[in-house]
Structure 1
Amino acid sequence: MTLSLFSQFASPVLLGVPLIALAILLPWILFPSPAHRWLNNRLLSLEGWFINGFTKQLILPINPNGHKWALLFASLMIFLITMNLLGLLPYTFTPTTQLSLNMGLAVPLWLATVIIGMRNQPTHSLAHFLPEGTPTPLIPVLVIIETISLFIRPLALGVRLTANLTAGHLLIHLIAMATNVLFPLMPSVALLTGTLLLLLTLLEIAVAMIQAYVFVLLLSLYLQENV
């Protein structure tokens, strides 16, 4: 029972070849390419409006030195949203339920923000390890705590995204199984659980979008501290 519940998060394999690479590349195939015209269609106009609005809101509090990250943040946001939402379709696989993929996204981007801070403003970056006015006996303890909090940031990014998506998929799976079992026995209760399943699916769609936004927002906050 436990194996069947968590088997949905195993990377699918075809002829010994992992299909997670295909699942990662699929979102970019689905998006329409801009046409060489004065006016685009409604879909391209809506996509451009969303990207511009999101990028302006995200980059606004960041110093001009960090505005060069706008394209990366917008691409990462669209990539995560698409993978999260595609994973809610039947017979699909969600790559962002794999902690290895999320850590592979979180660690290099977090490390890039730290390196930028150490290179451009080393004094300001090192000042985060020791707040001003700290009593002398507490200096070693605070330095250790701030160091741990710095290195735990990429872990928090990856685990947050993985845990939220995994928990939502597990709840949907459990309630769907309960609905199938109860339908021939107690149709009224099965109708209630089916309604709950529909509401939970809508909630999971919102969670998939919100978690992608939170992932990129936290990266922008880390960048804001180091530029």
Structure 2
Amino acid sequence: MTLSFFDQFMSPTLFGIPLIALALFLPWILFPTPSSRWLNNRLLGLQSWSINRFTQQLLLPLNLGGHKWAVILTSLMLFLITINMLGLLPYTYTPTTQLSLNLGLAVPLWLATVIIGLRNQPTAALGHLLPEGTPVPLIPILIIIETISLFIRPLALGVRLTANLTAGHLLIQLIATAAFVLLPIMPSVAIATSAILFLLTLLEVAVAMIQAYVFVLLLSLYLQENV
């Protein structure tokens, strides 16, 4: 029986137990734990430096009220990068190709930014629904459009992450299948296809990191509007 290319995105099970929970908890085990020594090793030093640089870059445009989200945003960034990178290994599973998981991350965090804006500065938060200087006849239409765009934000976050990772994985599998099929027929074309596959894999590594950064960056921009 020929398997579908989309079977790789199905949640694996063992004895009827979904293994998506193991895939979600695995990244936290792989990170080295900082020690209490004055001088850490190179790996811990590189990890601390990269986390500090990312946090500074992320919180630079935010007000002091948004700095409380530093731990959440940085942890989410590391979590998404690790999951996306582990999903590129053979015989692994990428949880972030599931739209339900991505929406489960995007909706609560987006809703928290909206609630913070309505609680701290309700006038400014509601003012985003109506640009200044709008003609009176266009006010109801613009309010409806801005409200729809506000509620589409978490859907766009989840769909963007899911679509980019799913498309990359499918393209890698299609090119790899073509290389295996062409190997006994046209070896030279199969070698060229393998070179393209290698370059595409490097591109997918970059996409896995960039999409995690974009997800967190957009959340920080939503937070910036409400603090």
Name the % identity: 78
Equivalent-residue separation in structure 1 for 2:22 and 2:16 (angstroms): 14
The amino acid that maps onto 1:83 is I
Residue 147 of structure 1: aligned partner: 147
Distance in 2 of aligned mates of 1:134 and 1:58: 33
Q: Provide the rounded CA distance (Å) in 2 between the counterparts of 1:101 and 1:156.
A: 14
Superposition CA RMSD, Å: 0.9
Displacement of 1:4 in angstroms is 1.7
Task: Please state if 1:181 is matched with 2:181.
Answer: yes
| SS of aligned partner of 2:221 | helix
Q: Displacement, 1:2?
A: 8.5
Q: Does residue 15 of structure 1 match 2:15?
A: yes
For 2:134 and 2:39, the matched residues in 1 are separated by 59
Match of 2:220 in 1: 220
Q: Which residue of 2 aligns with 1:209?
A: 209
1:54 maps onto 2:54 in alignment:
yes
1:118-133 alignment, distance < 5 Å: 118-133=118-133
* 4+ residue segments displaced more than 4 Å: none
Q: Which amino acid in structure 1 is aligned with residue 160 of structure 2?
A: R
Render the CA deviation track for 1:154-208: whole Å, top value 9, x for unaligned.
Answer: 0000000000000000000000000000001100000010000000000000000
Amino acid at match of 2:49: W
Task: Tell me how far 1:3 sits from its aligned partner.
Answer: 5.2
Amino acid at match of 1:158: G
Q: Structure 2 CA distance, aligned partners of 1:191 and 1:155?
A: 40
Q: Which amino acid aligns with 1:178?
A: A
2:94 is matched with 94
Measured in 2, the distance between the counterparts of 1:117 and 1:226 equals 4
Structure-1-length-normalised TM-score? 0.99
Counterpart mapping for 1:103-118 below 5 A: 103-118=103-118
Give the Cα separation in 1 of the matches to 2:49 and 2:63. 23
Question: 1:146 & 1:57 partners in 2: Cα distance?
Answer: 29
Cα distance in structure 1, aligned partners of 2:3 and 2:100? 20
CA distance in 1, matches of 2:33, 2:205: 25
Offset at residue 142 of structure 1 (A): 0.2
**Letter of the structure 1 residue corresponding to residue 6 of structure 2:** F
Task: Give 1:137's aligned residue.
Answer: 137
Aligned partner of residue 152 in structure 1, secondary structure: helix
Per the alignment, residue 170 of structure 1 pairs with 170
SS in structure 2 at match of 1:155: helix
- Matching residue of 1:5: 5
- Cα distance between partner residues in 1 of 2:107 and 2:209: 21
Structure 2: unaligned runs, 5 residues or longer: none
Q: Hey, what does 2:197 align to over in structure 1? A: 197
